Amino acid sequence: MLQTSAYRLPSLTGSWSMGSSLSEQLTQSSTPDADGDYALSGTVVVKGSACFAQGTLQPGSYVSGVSGREIVKMNDGSILQGMLNVSFNGQLSSSILGLSLHPATINGGKCDGAF
């Protein structure tokens, strides 16, 4: 018999850091779309980059369970796109431990290519 389990993850709304160089202020929609995805909006700040300093999440950014996608228009005009991975400890309360954007690419701007 196949056993499955599910976890109810808390909203990603709030401040997040991805290492010491990238931080985000996210807002997650409270209701899913027809595909079960929760839209994400917000801003990104990047420290120490020769390419850009900040950006804004674009439509098409979402989370669904422990994965999703972010599309960020950066202040140099480039688009940063990455797969969003949510890590959690399975305790169901304050369970989010971190976010990562991997793999990620930059399209356009001074640093066109891999992030």
Q: What pLDDT was estimated at residue 11?
A: 86
Mean pLDDT (whole number) for 14-29: 88
**What's the pLDDT tens digit per position in 57-115?**
999 999 998 889 999 999 999 999 988 888 766 554 444 556 677 778 889 988 888 66
The residue that leads in pLDDT, 102 or 32, is 32
Q: What pLDDT was estimated at residue 78?
A: 93
The DSSP letter of residue 2 is: -
Q: Is the pLDDT of residue 26 over 90?
A: yes
Q: Please report, as a single letter, which amino acid is at residue 32.
A: P
Give bridge partners of residue 79 from the DSSP assignment: 73, 107
| Sequence ranges of the domains in the chain | 14-114
Give bridge partners of residue 22 from the DSSP assignment: 18, 46
Half-sphere exposure of 88 (CA within 13 A, CB side): 19
Q: Is the pLDDT of residue 41 over 90?
A: yes
Mean pLDDT (whole number) for 20-32: 92
CA distances from 106 to 53, 73, 86 (A): 14, 10, 21
Single pTM value for the model: 0.83
Output the six-digit token pair for 12: 């990603």
